[in-house]
Structure 1
């Protein structure tokens, strides 16, 4: 373990408020109580836009007016960045860089700073595909850094590790499922040491994230990954139960609402292909006995959840497939209510919003920068469709991303051989792969809501949709960013 000579004082984590968004999908449910904008355009309603150095795919997290987001840079993603932005102004407050303990090719189909941070009242905790878990203060001072994958064996995953962190008051949770010995690790927040490790055997590669369920005051880590849903005691790592026989739950994570877990599943190239079996693997699980017991309530009649995690909200569960078809099923029965093509697939997971006046809305942010807002109900009820950028901004972003890829290309004679499905794609032109998988930049990877502002993240930019809160004096100062020194570990 690599860590500095001081530790985080252990105190209770503050309960996430409507002003904070503390991890992947907030508290794991993907729901918030807030009053974000409903209508905007590229010309009106964007509070600010900020450049993110490098390239990244993680979701922003927010704590007390600070937005934390990650990116990586270098041909082998050897530079791993954590950035802090001011939520009101968009000014970049600091950037902290961590040297990667293990290299990963900076290839546009690989994980590039995909894992999302978690944040509490003491620190912001980052995780990268290199396996480095790092804690730093809200001001960017590094407290400790632990090379989890280097300690536990290199991950054999053709797309790189992309699982986000989960957290409890005391621990961080890292899931690594791959072709070799897979595992779930609990890391002590105080010093980065290992609290426990649960071995998961050899698995197929997966990119979903663990989530915490709290049942009767007892905390359970839920993993929906590699054809099973598993539950572990968050304090000890003891395996509690396993639901097996699922297909295609390798990308979407589980969603937890109260004592229910909603698993997402999708058809995949070289993997799950039975549409009926995949639909049934989009299932609902009810927890009991403090999370130590379970029963499967239903498998969806017709559903497919590709990159984004399913959202259970206002009596319905929503899934979006890889061609942009939205499926809505009844949360009690799993019966399909409707399906509707919304125009583009979503990498960003949907967010369920309850406004102060009680109105409920669902925000779907698509890969091509549109946000579709619907009102929950038995029929598709679209409230708004908002565009994030215009043609000029789109072309500029496309050029910037192409330049970044070119600058970070690993020479052909040094590039590692591709495995699994990636071996099939290795000889194809990049343009063809972009077309096949809708990889054209700018591409929206994630969204979050905090302090009534909607944050949307592309590979190289962060957008804040909402009330513009920058006064004339702040605007005249321009970009007041400061960059902190690079952190180099022996």
Structure 2
């Protein structure tokens, strides 16, 4: 085979993989291909009694989203007072049968506390295997049958993280590398890790940063891939091959939790007001902005297209779909703005915030719908347009199931509680809450289980993940 033939073959494979993601066969990363849009024939109506094809328990507790490759679903969880038992689980997409669980021995202790990150980073997956990342700093590659291929301990190698809520940034990937972002009160960095052997290819130092939990995203600028990080009050572009800093948009407020959404040459940034952080609502609204990627004289750049007037994006990432951009704030207000201008189209209270990012779905008949899976397990199905057009509101579990999940989560928290004499003193905003009863904190921050943390769409199925369970909506019911 000639080098040109080999190159053409590799390009074809890459194109097919991209098509599979867009067409809904695979969901390989946090938010699928990074846009949270997909072509799929999802149901629009279901309930706790009808339409849920299967449901399985996940050992331990986790806040990551599912990812899908072929007929395998992957999720993570952790257990123990210091989350020393980190786990990757594989389930059959059609039946929900657990295929395997592989344990990752944590190299750094992380307190198991409901206000902390608990197995929050989402895996990424490709045809060679699944790549996980935990708050302990351990990045691990596994084969599709659960065999560990390599493990790289970032925090052990580069120092502890001063982030009062733990590490929650999900992985991004290209064909050859995975990328990890760690921003905290200390030496922050972005690293590229070779998929084949776990070696760090490059490390881009970011200085002392505001603690953040957003995830990097891959974009295309001209003839090269770049990494977009929307985090710690800036948006940065890095060269995928070298880690070179290409540009930075500074002066933002509140982009510590939502990640950037990339659609072609546009980047949509999400920001929110947070305790102990950004409090200027006007500045935060304007930081929910649209950036256009530019390319002059072989040098990638950017220009700001618009900043929103009243948008606010809490835990979930903004969704750009069908000519609109959607944001959901911390009290469950949905903001819809025009994608071209940033002008507000409408604002509507939908009943609960979203911790899982919304998904834009194009059905095979051309119909376009937006699925908002709320923190409390209800799903709002919305038809895009200049007015709020609700198609359905679906319940995932009934009151009995909610009570059972709540009791299971409380039992798990007690089992994994850190002995008082071993707990580190709380810092930052968490210091204020250190002496308050857990029940009071649950009420204050609406942290009552079961909570929906993440979703995925693959092969006409909607996967919904709570802390201790995985649900599949669509397909033929097996239970």
TM-score by length of structure 2 reads: 0.95
Tell me, in whole angstroms, the C-alpha distance in 2 between the residues paired with 1:115 and 1:454: 20
Tell me, in whole angstroms, the C-alpha distance in 1 between the residues paired with 2:437 and 2:34: 38
Relative contact order, CA 8 A, sep 6+: which one is greater?
Answer: 1
- What secondary structure, in the 3-state scheme, does the structure 1 residue paired with 2:89 have? strand
Equivalent in the alignment of 2:186: 180
Equivalent in the alignment of 1:333: 341
Equivalent in the alignment of 1:482: none
Deviation per CA, 1:108-148, whole angstroms, max 9, x where unpaired?
00000000000001110000000000001111011100001
- Residue 206 of structure 2 corresponds to residue 196 of structure 1: no
Give the conservation status (yes or no) of the 8 Å contact 1:220–1:291. no
Tell me, in whole angstroms, the C-alpha distance in 1 between the residues paired with 2:89 and 2:153: 20
- Residue 382 of structure 2 corresponds to residue 374 of structure 1: yes
Match of 1:276 among 264, 270, 282: 282
Equivalent in the alignment of 2:259: 253
- What secondary structure, in the 3-state scheme, does the structure 1 residue paired with 2:341 have? coil
Deviation per CA, 1:187-211, whole angstroms, max 9, x where unpaired?
0001000110000000010000000
Equivalent in the alignment of 2:213: 207
- Residue 303 of structure 2 corresponds to residue 292 of structure 1: no
Match of 2:57 among 51, 57, 69: 51
Deviation per CA, 1:374-401, whole angstroms, max 9, x where unpaired?
0000000000000000011000000000
Give the conservation status (yes or no) of the 8 Å contact 1:302–1:335. no
Equivalent in the alignment of 1:166: 172
RMSD: 1.2
Equivalent in the alignment of 2:406: 398
Give the conservation status (yes or no) of the 8 Å contact 1:285–1:296. yes
1:31-180 alignment runs, 5 A limit: 31-180=37-186
Give the number of equivalent residue pairs.
462
Q: What is the CA distance between 1:432 and its match in structure 2?
A: 1.4
Q: What is the CA distance between 1:288 and its match in structure 2?
A: 1.6
Identify the range of structure 1 (146-155 vs 91-100) with the bigger mean alpha-carbon deviation: 146-155
Tell me, in whole angstroms, the C-alpha distance in 1 between the residues paired with 2:476 and 2:366: 24
Tell me, in whole angstroms, the C-alpha distance in 2 between the residues paired with 1:291 and 1:234: 14
Q: What is the CA distance between 1:217 and its match in structure 2?
A: 3.7
Equivalent in the alignment of 1:434: 442
Tell me, in whole angstroms, the C-alpha distance in 2 between the residues paired with 1:359 and 1:98: 43
Give the conservation status (yes or no) of the 8 Å contact 1:37–1:466. yes
Give the conservation status (yes or no) of the 8 Å contact 2:54–2:477. no
Q: Which structure 1 residue ranges, 5 or more long, are not aligned?
A: 1-9, 476-490
Q: What is the CA distance between 1:19 and its match in structure 2?
A: 1.1
Give the conservation status (yes or no) of the 8 Å contact 1:218–1:291. no
Equivalent in the alignment of 2:425: 417
Equivalent in the alignment of 1:407: 415
Equivalent in the alignment of 1:347: 355
Equivalent in the alignment of 1:358: 366
- Residue 438 of structure 2 corresponds to residue 456 of structure 1: no
Tell me which stretches of 4 or more aligned residues in structure 1 moved more than 4 Å: 10-13
Give the conservation status (yes or no) of the 8 Å contact 2:60–2:468. yes
